[in-house]
């Protein structure tokens, strides 16, 4: 059993290696690959050094599984070449998600979409993964009619560049007036067009011609595909907040069928991968800081929306680098090892 991690030196790639270790995934050989500028560097895994190789060399090694976190362009270029060798590619980018023939997988929901012939498997967007994990049992029980979503996404969703911008702005002296505006010129290109420190940007991804952003479009399209519900009405607003790690989402759901809150709670508590944190009397609700470096999706603030029939509000939080990327990909790899190979 040979596993390759492509993009192993990046933020998500390094977390994938950590999760592979923690989950005790069975394999005989590990191949760590990255861009040319990283080739030859050493990565330590389970106390042993591994030399970073080129993607071409990783393809030549013909791994059974290749977990990708190298960006959409690299995935479009290299994933088909791995697939031609019989490798099962698990891709974390947006490159393949909306192809009909490519399964878009959250293992707790739709692993059955993976077959022996699907050699490219897409990992959904981080904000989509955590939301659909909470919504899947509710959709099955009550049939979702409409979703209104507002996300509060951490800077780690923009990779190291986002984290570095926030850290640089926090460390930079700003004038002491009430505005808190940072007065400096960064030495590297920032991740965002505006200051993120002490600020919120209603801007995730690139703007589309319809006024929405690519991150908002992902929430719409990926949710429909994963839940196999193309008729759900969905609208979303994505915001970037000055939090290092962990995405938070306010999700308003309108169902076609009536529900009881206790049944909603029971279904969420029974859903694998979901932890309900919902006790207002103790100020217990999900937060990014307590979800950090955890694999679960945390759900709370459960309450009926009295403005519509069959309406529900919930608050969903998860570590976007773990369950939103690395952990979900490793779970897919485990499924492939156990059920496909």
Please list, residue by residue across 44-53, b when 16 or more beta carbons sit within 10 angstroms of its beta carbon and e when fewer do: ebeeeebebb
Say whether both 185 and 333 belong to one domain. no
Say whether both 305 and 160 belong to one domain. yes
Say whether both 315 and 171 belong to one domain. yes
94-109 per-position pLDDT tens digit: 999 999 999 999 999 9
**Count of structural domains within the chain:** 2
| CATH number for 10 | 3.40.50.720
Report the catalytic residues: 126, 247
Say whether both 110 and 199 belong to one domain. no
Say whether both 279 and 163 belong to one domain. yes
Is 334 a residue whose pLDDT tops 90? yes
Say whether both 89 and 152 belong to one domain. no
Do 169 and 162 form a contact (C-beta atoms < 8 A)?
A: no
Mean per-residue pLDDT, 59-86: 97
Say whether both 103 and 144 belong to one domain. no
Say whether both 60 and 150 belong to one domain. no
Say whether both 100 and 230 belong to one domain. no
197-251 per-position pLDDT tens digit: 999 999 999 999 999 999 999 999 999 999 999 999 999 999 999 999 999 999 9
Domain of 60, in residue numbers: 2-124+325-339
Say whether both 330 and 313 belong to one domain. no
238-263 per-position pLDDT tens digit: 999 999 999 999 999 999 999 999 99
Predicted confidence at residue 189, as pLDDT, reads 83
| CATH number for 276 | 3.30.360.10
Is 22 a residue whose pLDDT tops 70? yes
Is 174 a residue whose pLDDT tops 80? no
Helix (H) or strand (E) holding 312: strand 311-318
- pLDDT category, 173, cuts 50, 70, 90? low
Rg (CA), the chain: 20
Do 332 and 90 form a contact (C-beta atoms < 8 A)?
A: yes
Residues whose CB falls within 8 Å of the CB of residue 29, separated by 6 or more in sequence, listed in order: 1, 2, 3, 61, 63
Q: State residue 119 phi and psi, 5-degree precision.
A: -90, -5
26-35 per-position pLDDT tens digit: 899 999 999 9
Say whether both 81 and 21 belong to one domain. yes
116-172 per-position pLDDT tens digit: 999 999 999 999 999 999 999 999 999 999 999 999 999 999 999 999 999 999 888
Do 149 and 316 form a contact (C-beta atoms < 8 A)?
A: no
């Amino acid at each position: 059993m040979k596993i390759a991690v492509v993009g192993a030196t990046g933020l998500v790639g390094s977390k994938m290696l950590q999760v592979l270790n923690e989950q005790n995934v069975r394999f005989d050989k590990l191949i760590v690959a990255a861009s040319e500028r990283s080739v030859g560097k050493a990565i330590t895994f389970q106390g042993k050094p591994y030399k970073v190789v080129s993607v071409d060399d990783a393809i030549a090694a013909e791994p059974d599984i290749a977990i990708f976190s190298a960006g959409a362009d690299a995935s479009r270029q290299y994933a088909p070449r791995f697939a031609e060798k019989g490798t099962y590619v698990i891709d974390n980018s947006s490159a393949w998600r909306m192809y009909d023939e490519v399964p878009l997988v959250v293992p707790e929901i739709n692993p059955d979409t993976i077959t022996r012939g699907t050699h490219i498997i897409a990992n959904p967007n981080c904000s989509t993964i955590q939301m659909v994990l909470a919504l899947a049992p509710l959709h099955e029980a009550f049939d979702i009619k409409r979703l209104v979503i507002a996300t509060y996404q951490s800077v780690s969703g923009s990779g190291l560049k986002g984290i570095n911008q926030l850290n640089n702005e926090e460390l930079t002296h700003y004038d002491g007036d009430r505005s808190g505006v940072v007065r400096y010129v960064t030495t590297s290109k920032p991740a965002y067009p505006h200051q993120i420190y002490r600020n919120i940007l209603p801007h995730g991804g690139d703007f589309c011609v319809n006024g929405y952003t690519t991150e908002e479009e992902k929430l719409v399209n990926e949710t429909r595909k994963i839940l196999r519900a193309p008729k759900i009405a969905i609208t979303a607003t994505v915001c970037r907040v000055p939090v290092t790690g962990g995405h938070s989402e306010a999700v308003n759901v309108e169902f076609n069928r009536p529900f009881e809150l206790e049944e909603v709670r029971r279904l969420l508590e029974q859903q694998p991968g979901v932890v309900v944190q919902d006790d207002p009397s103790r100020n217990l609700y999900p937060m990014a800081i307590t979800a950090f470096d955890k694999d679960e999706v945390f759900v709370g603030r459960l309450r009926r929306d009295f403005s519509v029939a069959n309406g529900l509000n919930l608050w969903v939080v998860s570590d976007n680098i773990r369950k939103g990327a690395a952990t979900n990909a490793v779970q897919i790899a485990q499924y492939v090892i156990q059920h496909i190979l």
